[in-house]
Structure 1
Amino acid sequence: MGAPGAFGFVRKAYLKSDPSRTPYVIKHCHRSSIAASRYSSDPELGKVPIEIVVLDKIRKDPQRSAYVAHLVDFFADEKYFYVVMPCLGSADLFDYVEMYLGKGSHRIPEGIVRHIFKQVVEGVAYLHAKGIVHRDIKDENVIVSDNLDVTIVDFGSAAFYGPGVNFTTFCGTLDYASPEVLEGNTYRGPEQDIWALGILFHILLFSENPFRDVAEITSKELRFPYQVSEQAFELLNWMLQRDPGNRPSAEEVVGHEFFNDTVIN
């Protein structure tokens, strides 16, 4: 069971009628913690949090990405919305990095980083292609299986975007917030996800966040504590451009030559 937080908590569960006890995850979302702006009136689902509408759209897509969580079911009572999803792994990326370093290594081999990060990027590219921005990409929202299969979870900050749509508030995690968001500028959404992917990429490569506070996010020169391949260096610099107009799209990241090598180490 996940620790209770400001917005709810997560529990594992199974159907009593299922003799195999297939595990599921139930996210308990406090009604009182969900802002009015985070609701959507859906013709099929009714008035529900946008998170449920997003997950339902993913569920109904016959070509949905294997790297993105989807809705199994949802229900509600006076206190909570309950979001049921498959149980997909034993650890998040934060835990995975900690466990890997606990084995005595100071960094994760680049081949493993490539294998994990490619799945995350392809998941984000899928979301953007469907008009969805996650807005809280971080290590704790990426689940990793024992086989290094990856799933993006927690769509509590997700939103739909499109032409003419701009956001004015940031709903994610400060360490992954882009400079334009921290400076109070309006933003489209995809560029914020790309910046967050850049932060995540840096953590996977070097086992640390590149910036310690808001001042560093908005002004510090990007430095590399260890040598990495030229392709990794180029991709990381591209994603962490402070001008959002200079960042790649998710599709451009997927097509970057860093991912051409398939060796995992």
Structure 2
Amino acid sequence: MPRAHPRPRAGLPRPCPRASRRGLAFARLWQCWRWRCWAGISAWGWGKAQQALQEQYRLGSLLGHGGFGSVWAATRLSDRAAVAIKRVPRNRVRHWGELPNGTSAPLEIVLLHKVSTGFPGVVQLLEWLELPKDIIIIMERPERSQDLQHFIRARRFLCEEVARELFRQVLEAVRHCTSCGVLHRDLKPGNILLDLATGQAKLIDFGCGTYLQDTAYTHFAGTPSYSPPEWNQFGWYYGQPATVWSLGILLHQMVCGEHPFRRGHKISWDHQLSLPPRLSQECQDVIRRCLSMLDVDRPSVEDLLCHPWMQDSHLP
């Protein structure tokens, strides 16, 4: 005879179907995961500052992580606004600066404070907290957004009209940062956030940034594959030419869908940059000029904004 299943005792809930048990297990796992996420925001314990964070924001998914720390999507409970919460371990903060009110703060926050207020092309700093073991940075986050790296990857490459408009916005953001005395130093598709509802591009992540100076830099911060040849050859670079080199790689990635100097391919002084014939001559000229081997041959940001290819700019 087949074995009979025991009948549930009175007062106890009936066994759930397998799907329901899975759903219950998932719900418990989700609650545990969220608790661990908040615990990760500040590993030092459930202090008042961490409790205030929990009362003001609902933590969402992980947006990115790396040597800098972690960035999480979150919702501000007071008005349901979407925000991004960045956690940086204090022991990874190498440089500090001073805010206008005299408060000492990590250099990333000082730079972001200088460039973000009132300019749409840079992510807005909302607030920041200094905890015993972590620095917490809270920034705006468009409700529907995607970084440029994933935006390009989903389309393989961008048509010139769309690339032109986005490139113009990045140029204007770089010009704004320069006028504020700030050098970003890590321009790449992953550090450009697109508001999919408005088409606005926003420069994010000033963790590698520094103050703009007229003299050469002898320390590199940023992504090595975007570093200019003068740094790789001589160990120095100037802020503006290095920025324009990164902009050339960025534009190439937009319209070609790949880095012009792929991993393992070294840049030589007699390199010949091969570009698809489908690109207009004006677009090719912008890329080639930005990727000039000699830094003195590269155009300025103002020159790029005045280039004939940029004059046909219009919203995508």
TM class by shorter chain equals 0.7 to 0.9
Please provide the CA RMSD for this pair: 1.9
The DSSP-based 3-state class of the residue aligned with 1:72 is strand
Pick the aligned partner of 1:97 from 152, 165, 171.
152
- Which moves more between the two structures, 147-156 or 42-51? 42-51
Matched with 1:4 is: 65
1:262 matches 2:294:
no
Matched with 1:44 is: 101
1:237 matches 2:288:
yes
Post-superposition offset of 1:185:
2.7
- Which moves more between the two structures, 197-206 or 65-74? 65-74
Pick the aligned partner of 2:171 from 121, 127, 152.
121
Post-superposition offset of 1:235:
0.9
> Per-residue displacement from partner, 1:137-172 (whole Å, max 9, x unpaired)?
001000112142210100001111133x43111111
Give the % identical residues: 27
1:189 matches 2:239:
yes
Matched with 2:87 is: 28
Indicate the structure (1 or 2) with the bigger Cα radius of gyration.
2
5+ residue gaps in structure 2?
1-61
Matched with 1:104 is: none
In the superposition, relative to structure 1, how do residues 142 and 45 fare at CA in structure 2: closer, same or farther (>3 Å)? farther
> Per-residue displacement from partner, 1:223-253 (whole Å, max 9, x unpaired)?
1134311110111111111111111111111
Matched with 1:139 is: 189
Matched with 2:16 is: none
Distance in 1 (alpha carbons) for counterparts of 2:227 and 2:65: 24
Post-superposition offset of 1:83:
1.2
- Whether the aligned pair in 1 keeps the contact of 2:228 and 2:237 (CA below 8 Å) is no
> Per-residue displacement from partner, 1:46-94 (whole Å, max 9, x unpaired)?
332211111111245xxx4321123111111011111111103521111
TM-score normalised by L of structure 2? 0.74
TM-score normalised by L of structure 1? 0.88
1:200 matches 2:250:
yes
Higher relative contact order (CA 8 A, sep 6+): 1
Q: Which amino acid aligns with 1:26?
A: I
- Whether the aligned pair in 1 keeps the contact of 2:97 and 2:104 (CA below 8 Å) is yes
The DSSP-based 3-state class of the residue aligned with 1:151 is strand
In the superposition, relative to structure 1, how do residues 112 and 66 fare at CA in structure 2: closer, same or farther (>3 Å)? same
Give the paired residue count: 252
Distance in 2 (alpha carbons) for counterparts of 1:214 and 1:243: 22
The DSSP-based 3-state class of the residue aligned with 1:13 is strand
Post-superposition offset of 1:187:
2.0
- Whether the aligned pair in 1 keeps the contact of 2:213 and 2:239 (CA below 8 Å) is no
Distance in 2 (alpha carbons) for counterparts of 1:229 and 1:184: 34
- Whether the aligned pair in 2 keeps the contact of 1:15 and 1:21 (CA below 8 Å) is yes
In the superposition, relative to structure 1, how do residues 245 and 108 fare at CA in structure 2: closer, same or farther (>3 Å)? same
In the superposition, relative to structure 1, how do residues 168 and 258 fare at CA in structure 2: closer, same or farther (>3 Å)? same
